[in-house]
Amino acid sequence: MHLARTGPWKLRAIAAGIAAATLWPAATNAAEDLAGAVDAVIERWIASERIAGVVALAARDGETVYRRAAGWADREAATPVREDTIFRLASMSKLIVAVTAMAMIDREKLALQDTVAQWLPWFRPALPDGRRPAITVRHLLTHTSGLAYGFLEPGGNPYEQLQVPQGLEVWQGHLESALRRLVEAPLLHEPGTAWRYSLSTDVLGAVVEKAAGMPLPEVVARYVTGPLGMSDTAFHVVDPVRLAVPYRDGPGRAERMADGGDTIPLGDGIAFAPARALDPNAYPSGGASMNGTAGDYLILLETLRRGGGPILSETSARLLSTHAIGELRAWTEGEGWGHGLGAAVLLDPEAAETPQNPGTWQWGGVLGGHWFVDPVAKLSVVVLTNTSTAGVIGDFPAEIREALYGAGRN
DSSP line for 18-54: PPSPPPS-S-TTHHHHHHHHHHHHHHHHHHHTSS-EE
**Residue positions annotated with a catalytic role:** 91
- Cβ-based neighbour number of residue 315 at 10 Å: 12
Q: What is the identity of the amino acid at 124?
A: R
Of 377, 403, 397, nearest to 1 by C-alpha is: 397
Tell me the C-alpha distance between 85 and 83, whole Å. 6
Cross-strand partners of 362: 344, 372
Using CA atoms, how far residue 386 sits from 78, 81, 180, 283, 370, in Å, is 14, 10, 31, 22, 11
- What sign has the CA pseudo-torsion 175, 145, 151, 235? positive
Cβ atoms of 387 and 13 within 8 Å: the answer is no
Beta strands in 219-360 (DSSP E): 247-248, 255-256, 262-264, 270-272, 290-292, 337-339, 344-346
Residue 159 φ then ψ, to 5°: -60, -40
Cβ–Cβ < 8 Å for 64, 269: no
Return d(Cα 42, Cα 51) in angstroms, integer: 9
